[in-house]
A and B are shown apart, each in its own frame.
Chain A
């Protein structure tokens, strides 16, 4: 670790398991899925009514869910200096305000709202579909390594809205039963709420602020399939390239990785593509793998933040949670996933996301010690 090594000094999240990291972590360890009937809007015309909704979030209907989440995250954000840059990963922002009289982009609105609530001078929205959070991490990794930034707050949030629910229903991407990432009988994804925060700074800044590193952001890689706007590259070539770029950047080999947190949406195409990409990089090695989306749903732009926080807990505890909702593994995935808690044998976790547009973003987290 040197002065410019990016380190994670704090994190928190609010998911369908409730507020706090431990609520989600314990849910994952106990193989629980947090889906329930969504009553936020009329959904009887869709193939499912299930979603993973954060308890207590819609105190005043759906309109104030982003505000509720920001209020929850603000105390953690305020632990960082006012001049720390705020990175906000979101696909649609405050989408309930789509009809705003100023005709403003709802992500732009959410950014201004977040800056105010979190007490930060400057920030930026990073949007790369479902790879938004990891794209923000990769960007920040390079900014800190190059010395352009020394501290940042990364927030990722999307939530179950009629806008998104109907859209994924339109694409026939929603599961008819339950989201089962990497399962032979998987039939789609289920959406979820998430609001997550990770405070990151250079190792030097962490020492100046008296903050103890909880994990190291060791590297990142990004790529674009450039093949199809919604379907992933069938054999995962571009995703595997992003993984290799991340490994190369950190001077690591695939054998240095202890576990992979996959995107694992539960759609047939995504999971197949990911497994192919993993096999291209890891060869015959059965690297342990899981997806959190079988437990807390697909949280879209916020997915990478949830996975990063889970990755931090994996590094801190040395445990790999089981694959929630797995019944019969897809044959190609069987060597990677498990319904049991496993030990993390090597102190690095690779997290990967892929989104519409063929966007891929990968990060590697490393134990702070």
Chain B
């Protein structure tokens, strides 16, 4: 059964490895590495959004960098600047398991003494969306949620954020098997959501490729 929600999708991005595609405008960025991706995606000065800072881009791992760049592209796809009243929800089951292993193995390899701090910071599943929030100055709530892939929970949670009167947009992220999907959703309008649909399928259905 479809459900109708009081919001609408204004932009969407998928990143398969370092191949980025926006679904509303059909922009494609095939990149060799994250520095190449940063150069290509942040270069157009006359395009949205205004980027608050990529000074610490090198701080994060590939996953963090992909989140930052996909968040920028979701705004570009919507042809909209970022607004600070934007909430972020990252929805999945993988959490930061890879990053946990990387930190702990590094700690063990260094004789169970001090590990590397930046690797420990990466052991929170909210680190990638928060780094995206820093780059775009998004001051709304930020959470990671794992509901064992009950996707209706995700869409309800988006509506939940809009119960907060000051929230204007919600950015939905989902990282699964090396593929990241980011949707930018705005308050108002109506969207009919098929029961149990995942973000990637939804963005493809919302903005079908020509």
Chain A interface residues (CB < 8 Å from chain B)? 42, 45, 91-93, 95, 98-99, 103-108, 111-112, 122-129, 135, 138-139, 142-143, 145-146, 148, 162-163, 166-171, 221-230, 238, 241, 245, 248-249, 355-359, 361
Query: Quick check: A105 and B142 within 8 Å, CB to CB?
Result: no
What distance in Å separates the Cβ of B86 from its nearest Cβ neighbour in chain A?
9
Q: Is the CB of A227 within 8 A of B141?
A: no
A91 and B146 CA atoms in complex are apart in Å by 12
CA distance A104 to B129 in the complex (A): 21
- Check if B114 sits within 8 Å of A357, measured CB to CB: no
Pairwise interchain contact B100-A223, C-beta atoms closer than 8 A = no
Q: Is the CB of B101 within 8 A of A167?
A: no
Do A356 and B127 contact each other (CB < 8 Å), given the known contacts A45-B113, A139-B160, A229-B121?
yes
* Among A91, A245, A356, contact of B121 (Cβ-Cβ < 8 Å): A356
Q: Are A128 and B163 in contact (CB under 8 A)?
A: no
A98 contacts across to B, CB distance below 8 A: 97, 100-101, 104
Contact call A357/B163, Cβ cutoff below 8 A: no
Q: Which residues does chain A contribute within 8 Å of B56, judged by CB atoms?
A: 229
B107 within 8 A of partner (CB): yes
| Known contacts A104-B97, A226-B134, A359-B142, A143 near B164 by CB under 8 Å | no
**Structural contact, B133 and A135, CB atoms closer than 8 A:** no
7 further A-B pairs in the complex, CB-CB below 8 A; given A167-B120, A241-B139: A111-B146, A127-B95, A163-B123, A166-B114, A167-B115, A249-B165, A358-B130
B137 close to A (CB within 8 Å):
yes
Given contacts A105-B97, A111-B148, contact A127 B160 (CB under 8 A): no
Whether B120 pairs with A148 at a CB distance below 8 angstroms is no
Q: Which residues of B contact A249 (CB under 8 A)?
A: 164-165
**B113 neighbours in A (Cβ, 8 Å):** 45
> What is the size, in residues, of chain B's interface with A at 8 Å between Cβ atoms?
57
Nearest CB of chain A from residue B121's CB, rounded to whole Å: 6
14 A-B pairs whose Cβ atoms sit less than 8 Å apart in the complex = A104-B97, A108-B95, A123-B148, A124-B145, A126-B143, A135-B141, A142-B164, A163-B100, A166-B115, A224-B139, A229-B121, A357-B127, A357-B129, A359-B141
Q: Is B207 in contact with chain A by the CB < 8 A criterion? A: no
Residues of A within 8 A of B146 (CB): 105, 107-108, 111, 124-125, 127
Known interface pairs A135-B141, A166-B107, A167-B120. Does A129 touch B159 (Cβ–Cβ under 8 Å)? Answer: no
Are the C-beta atoms of A127 and B139 separated by less than 8 Å?
no
Q: How far is the CA of A146 from the CA of B150 in the complex (A)?
A: 20
- The answer to whether B134 and A228 have CB atoms under 8 Å apart is yes
- A229 engages B130 (CB within 8 Å): yes
Give B69-98 interface residues, CB cut-off 8 Å to A.
Answer: 84, 87-88, 93-97
In this complex, which of B59, B93, B131, B164 has the most chain A Cβ atoms within 10 angstroms of its Cβ? B164
A78 to B3, CA, bound (A): 31
Write the chain B residue with the least CB distance to A171.
Answer: B117
Give the CA-CA distance A168 to B117 in the complex, in Å. 8
- A122–B150 contact, CB under 8 A? yes
* A90 CB to nearest B CB, Å: 10
For residue B197, CB closer than 8 A to chain A, the reply is: no
Known: A45-B112, A45-B113. A127 touches B124 (CB 8 A): yes
Minimal Cβ-Cβ distance residue in A for B132: A226
Residue of B nearest to A122 (CB): B150
In the bound assembly, the distance between CA atoms of A169 and B117 in angstroms comes to 9
Which residue of the partner chain A has the closest CB to B144? Answer: A127
Whole-angstrom CA separation of A104 from B137 in the bound complex: 32
| Interface residue? B61 (CB, 8 A) | no
* Residues of chain B within 8 A of A111, CB atoms compared: 146, 148
Chain B residues lying within 8 Å of A93, measured Cβ to Cβ, are 95
| B112–A163 touching, CB < 8 Å | no
Q: Which of B59, B112, B145, B166 is within 8 Å of A126, CB to CB?
A: B145
Which of A163, A357, A358, A359 has its CB near the most chain B CB atoms (within 10 A)? A357
Q: Which residue of B lies closest to A95 (CB)?
A: B100
Contacts of B147 in A (CB 8 A): 122-125
Residue of B nearest to A132 (CB): B143
Cβ–Cβ contact A139 & B148, under 8 A: no
Closest 8 CB pairs of A and B: A357-B130, A222-B141, A105-B95, A167-B120, A124-B147, A125-B146, A142-B163, A105-B97
Pair B100/A358 contact, Cβ less than 8 Å: no
The answer to whether B114 and A169 touch across the interface, beta carbons within 8 angstroms, is: yes
Whether B36 is near chain A, meaning CB under 8 Å from some CB there, is: no
Given contacts A139-B160, A146-B160, A229 and B134 within 8 Å (CB-CB): yes
Interface flag for B126 (CB, 8 Å): yes
Within 8 Å of chain A (Cβ to Cβ): is B125? Answer: yes
CB-defined contacts of B114 to chain A, threshold 8 Å: 45, 166, 169-170
Asked, given contacts A92-B123, A139-B157, A358-B134, whether A112 binds B97 with beta carbons under 8 Å apart, the answer is no
- Known contacts A127-B125, A127-B126, A226-B133; A166/B140 CB under 8 A: no
Check if B20 is an interface residue, CB within 8 A of chain A: no
Alpha-carbon distance between A122 and B146 when the two chains are bound, in angstroms: 11
